[in-house]
Chain A
Amino acid sequence: MSFEPNILGFLCNWCSYAGADLAGVSRVQYPPNIRVIRVMCSGRVDPVFVIEALATGLDGVIVMGCHLGDCHYIDGNYEEKMKLDLLSKALQLIGLSGRFRLEWVSASEGVRFGQVVSEFTKQIKNEGPSPFSGSKPNQKLKEDLEAIKRTLSDNRLRTLVGRERAITEFGNVYEEIIEFEEYEKIIDDALNSEFLRNKILIKLEKEPLSVKNLSKSLSIESSLILEHIVSLKARNLIDFNRIDGITPYYHALKEAL
């Protein structure tokens, strides 16, 4: 039997969900792999929802909203785009970005809705079954995904993203403005380092490890690991476990969970 992917779609009530209804009224035919969750605005879709969906073993997730400038809620979709752009970047880090897509579909684009869904279904068929479904889910990737989830749930990154527009656009009226490129770099750096920290934390929750152990299992230079160990310790998320010879071992503190 051929692989029939399970695909989840988040559709905003006013544009994309209406577009999907119009596809129905026009009897546009598309593959039945997609199941839809209706939200009022695409802006409701917390990136963490997408990660949860992937983690449960869904093969692909698509978020659809009104075209930029047409949002029923003024600019909700604009805010959403910034969040999901970050999500895409995060998924890229672990090679899962092909399982996620953001599309703008208006209430009048019934035919296009069908096309987008057909295309995305094809894309996911090419991607193959989710690494988290079936009897042998990929444990390493699951840990990575968990680290991504924590990174995007964590208030540090959320605060940065929440402020993005305020800082890069409205800054000129109310605050000092930062160039978008500069801002993106800040976000990218934060994403990369939070991701690594969360990976370290997840490892240390399972068993006490040394910098060397971590460096080996994460394939990352030990100097970089050490840097993050210092910062995690300063944030009271990990502590010394024991000294083995001259090698210190660390473990995650309970509160981290």
Chain B
Amino acid sequence: MEDIKMGVFICHCGTNIGGFLDVPSLVEYAKTLPNVTFATDNLYSCSEVGLSLIKEKIEEHDLNRVIVASCTPRTHEPLFRSICQEAGLNPYLFEMVNIRDQCSWVHMKETEAATEKAKILIEMGVAKALLLQPLEKFQIDINPTALIIGGGIAGMTAALNLANQEFKVILIEKEPELGGLLRYLYKLYPTHDDASKVLEVRNLVENHQKIKVITSTEPVKIEGFIGNYKVSVKRRDGIYDIDTGIIIVATGAQVLKPEGLFGYNGSTIITQLELEQLLKENKINVKNIVMIQCVGARNEERRYCSNICCMTALKNAMLIKELKPDANISIIFRDIQTQGTTYEEYYRKAREKGITFIRYIPEKVPIVKESNIEVYNDYLNQDISIPYDMIVLSTPLIANPDSEDLAKMLKVPLEENHFFLEAHVKLRPVDFATDGIYVCGSAHWPADIPEAISQAYAAASRASTIISKDVLEVEGAIAEVDEDLCVGCGICIKICPYNAISMDDNGIAHVTEASCKGCGLCGATCPEKAITNHHFTTKQILAQILASGGK
């Protein structure tokens, strides 16, 4: 058995602790606890003097466990750990006891009771420290390469951003050419720049020394972990492996084809996307045009708002009006989604240009007749009839049909509409829970170009925080599976929020150290209790429980 020599340092924190607790009696108490071979007080433990005292005493008394009872480990644990390390002690053999923030400061008028509580807290710390094990942080090499899947505006923007920071970038695109949906657009809201002009970034991307573009290619298998992914891709002539440090998913989305809705026929009744093509070819030669919004969106099947189609309708209506000032254009809508000052202004402009807006309700959808549309006007509270030569259906962006395959390959989740789901909507909007994989653009949710670009910048910057390092230091307090106890039920694999556990060839769970964040969920869940959560082991916690009172 290891001969444990514990040192306990009790901090006055000036008067923050010393003014409310009886520190000398705490020192005396600590001396009575098992394996405590040294105990003293400190005016300010975190000061230069305080720290060197700790270091000196570790060396002098050959201490192999250290406890500081002071403020909160959330701010000061790293400092005390590093002083232990300087003194040659493994930093995980240090334990901190919070007798300030959670004791002296919150029981200011009860010195006696608060001192008793502090004694118990110290006892709990000692109980845990007796069972602490040295742990090693370890390092993993990072391959400073970025792989981007999907060469639309989002993927291209992320590629350029990373390449301009001198990272090696590989951009794979399923289609024979880059550009994504942008290739089919005429002009872009809100500026009415030519889409072809924005598409010129393709030249920058294709000619960039640091970017390798591989078209007509898609991933078929993805293995590895942060810093070390291996992606197998399929090309016409076979399967190739690509090694990369991080992956950005920029696979975009597709436009819903409204088969069977509102008489869609691809000639007189078309989608906004098909209208863009007609505009490109300057082939609009009709006078009465009606647009219908939310076609196949915001209904039982697809509850979401596709975010871009209202703006697209406004844009195309105005563009037609510019080309053919005598055209009659009506937009039949449910709600107009034009959020933000610029887009709302855009909507106002469309109204000024003489575009007619008619609100319909989902309970009374417009009925398309041979040459007119009958619609219940919610504002006028009456049925009206609008003649048309052409109907344009605004259909939503929908997830790619292969998104589920890709999600399974990456082991990342999709939301209910099969768009990719980020790790946390507020805290980690472009990350996946799996480290080193990011998402941007319409793959995540229908995004317009400004949004797709800002998300691409965000994803690139998140990625660069990883590939800018040669090595990544991995936390030592992680989970470990006891192979003899594991029965391979797979529950931990599903429950781990970071996909850090996988099944090995023998049907035994295995923790990928580089991915584990040490949350402890797996240990609390494993039916066989086969998982040890280092630094928060069941034994350590039970020892703390036992010491916590109830005598």
Contact = CB atoms under 8 A, between A and B. Distances in A.
A235 to B, nearest CB: 16
B551 to A, nearest CB: 7
B98 A25 contact: no
Given A53-B545, A56-B545, A46 B102 contact: no
B107 A59 contact: no
Interface in A10-65: 13, 17-18, 20-21, 23-25, 27-33, 35-41, 43-46, 49, 52-53, 56-59
Contacts of A83: 524-525
Contacts of A33: 117
A257 interface: no
Given A76-B497, A162-B527, A44 B519 contact: yes
B526 A158 contact: yes
Given A32-B114, A40-B520, A173-B414, A79 B525 contact: yes
A132 B549 CA distance: 12
Contacts of A44: 519-521, 523-524, 533, 536
Contact of B491 (A40, A49, A58, A159): A159
Interface string B453-473: 000000000000000000000
A76 B521 contact: yes
Contacts of B541: 37, 39, 49
B148 interface: no
A155 B486 CA distance: 12
A256 interface: no
A21 B74 contact: yes
Contacts of A173: 404, 414
Nearest to B404: A173
Given A20-B102, A24-B101, A32-B117, A155 B520 contact: no
B550 A28 contact: no
Instruction: Tell me if A's interface is mostly helix, strand, loop or mixed.
Output: mixed
B63 interface: no
A58 B124 CA distance: 14
Contacts of A23: 101-102, 106
Nearest to A30: B106
A56 B203 CA distance: 71
A87 to B, nearest CB: 11
B101 A74 contact: no
B542 interface: yes
Interface in B463-517: 477, 489, 491-492, 494-495, 497-498, 517
A80 interface: yes
Contact of A46 (B98, B113, B124, B538): B538
A165 B528 CA distance: 19
Nearest to A45: B524
B548 A21 contact: no
A237 to B, nearest CB: 17
Contacts of B108: 27, 29
B546 interface: yes
A185 interface: no
Contacts of A141: none
Interface residues of A, number: 61
A145 interface: no
A73 interface: yes
Given A44-B521, A59-B550, A83-B525, A32 B491 contact: no
Contacts of B98: 21, 36, 38
B516 to A, nearest CB: 11
B536 A40 contact: yes
Contacts of A8: 545, 548-549
Contacts of B533: 44
A38 B73 contact: yes
Given A37-B545, A41-B520, A163 B491 contact: yes
A166 interface: yes
Contacts of A223: none
Given A52-B542, A52-B545, A74-B423, A25 B517 contact: no
B110 interface: yes
A130 interface: yes
B518 A32 contact: no
Given A43-B524, A76-B519, A80-B524, A56 B114 contact: no
A6 B414 contact: no
B178 to A, nearest CB: 31
A23 B98 CA distance: 13
A75 interface: yes
Nearest to B544: A37
B103 interface: yes
A6 B120 CA distance: 11
Nearest to A133: B550
A36 B102 contact: yes
Contact of B520 (A31, A43, A166): A43
B209 interface: no
A159 B529 CA distance: 11
Contacts of A4: 113
B545 A158 contact: no
B527 A46 contact: no
Contact of A24 (B106, B491, B542): B106
B105 A35 contact: no
Nearest to B542: A52
Nearest to B113: A32
A19 B121 CA distance: 18
B542 A35 contact: no
Contacts of A163: 491, 494
Contacts of A43: 519-521, 524
Contacts of B544: 37
Given A32-B117, A46-B523, 14 more contacts: A21-B74, A24-B72, A24-B102, A31-B107, A37-B545, A37-B548, A41-B519, A43-B524, A49-B542, A53-B545, A56-B545, A74-B497, A79-B521, A158-B525
The 3 closest A-B pairs by CB, nearest first: A44-B520, A24-B101, A57-B550
Interface of A: 4, 6, 8, 13, 17-18, 20-21, 23-25, 27-33, 35-41, 43-46, 49, 52-53, 56-59, 70, 72-76, 79-80, 83, 114, 130, 132-133, 153, 155-156, 158-159, 161-163, 165-166, 170, 173
Interface of B: 72-74, 98, 100-103, 105-110, 113-114, 116-117, 120-121, 124, 404, 414, 423-424, 426-427, 433, 477, 489, 491-492, 494-495, 497-498, 517-521, 523-529, 533, 536, 538, 541-542, 544-546, 548-551
22 contacts: A8-B545, A23-B102, A24-B105, A27-B105, A28-B106, A29-B107, A32-B114, A32-B116, A35-B124, A37-B548, A43-B521, A46-B523, A53-B550, A57-B550, A58-B548, A72-B519, A74-B424, A130-B550, A155-B528, A156-B527, A158-B526, A163-B491
